[in-house]
């Protein structure tokens, strides 16, 4: 007869990528202006092993209009921040989040005009 001893629970050691408070402040500032303009209505945040994603929706039950992604693995190459459109096309990529978000601010200026 074999006796099985339970193995002690070990939490997963993998860490998730997340947005920092200052990064979220910049993103939510833009989000608030777009909501005030009537363009955006909802958002979602995902923290995965290799990427953090802030998704923006026009309506709750549809695909995201834009995804603001943070990929620290690319920080030494193209830059860890990127804005991805609805079709998967990368609209802007760079090392500075505020610079990358300008591509969406231009769309805000067109809406206000």
Please indicate, yes or no, if residue 7 is contained in any of the structural domains: no
- C-alpha 69/C-alpha 101 separation (Å) is 11
Percentage of the chain lying above the pLDDT 90 cut: 44
Look at the chain and report how many structural domains it folds into: 1
Please indicate, yes or no, if residue 1 is contained in any of the structural domains: no
Q: Quick check: pTM over 0.85?
A: no
Please indicate, yes or no, if residue 11 is contained in any of the structural domains: no
Please indicate, yes or no, if residue 95 is contained in any of the structural domains: yes
Task: Write out pLDDT tens, residues 12-24.
Answer: 546 888 899 999 9
Please indicate, yes or no, if residue 74 is contained in any of the structural domains: yes
- C-alpha 68/C-alpha 93 separation (Å) is 10
Q: Which residues pair with 51 in a beta bridge?
A: none
Reading the block at residue 81, the tokens are 């921040």
Range of the domain at 88: 21-112
Neighbours of 26 (CB within 10 A): 17
Please indicate, yes or no, if residue 12 is contained in any of the structural domains: no
* E strand intervals along 1-113: 42-47, 52-57, 66-70, 81-85, 90-94
Please indicate, yes or no, if residue 87 is contained in any of the structural domains: yes
Task: Write out pLDDT tens, residues 91-109.
Answer: 999 999 999 999 988 766 6
């Amino acid at each position: 007869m074999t006796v099985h001893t339970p193995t002690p629970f070990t939490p997963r050691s993998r860490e998730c990528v997340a947005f920092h408070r200052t990064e979220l402040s910049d993103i939510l500032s833009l989000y608030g202006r777009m909501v005030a303009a009537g363009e955006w209505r909802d958002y979602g945040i995902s923290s995965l092993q290799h990427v953090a994603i802030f998704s923006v929706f026009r309506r709750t039950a549809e695909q995201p209009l834009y995804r603001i992604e943070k990929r620290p693995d690319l920080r030494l190459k193209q830059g860890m921040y990127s804005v991805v459109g609805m079709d998967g096309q990368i609209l802007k990529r760079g090392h500075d989040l505020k610079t990358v978000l300008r591509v969406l601010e231009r769309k805000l200026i067109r809406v206000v005009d």
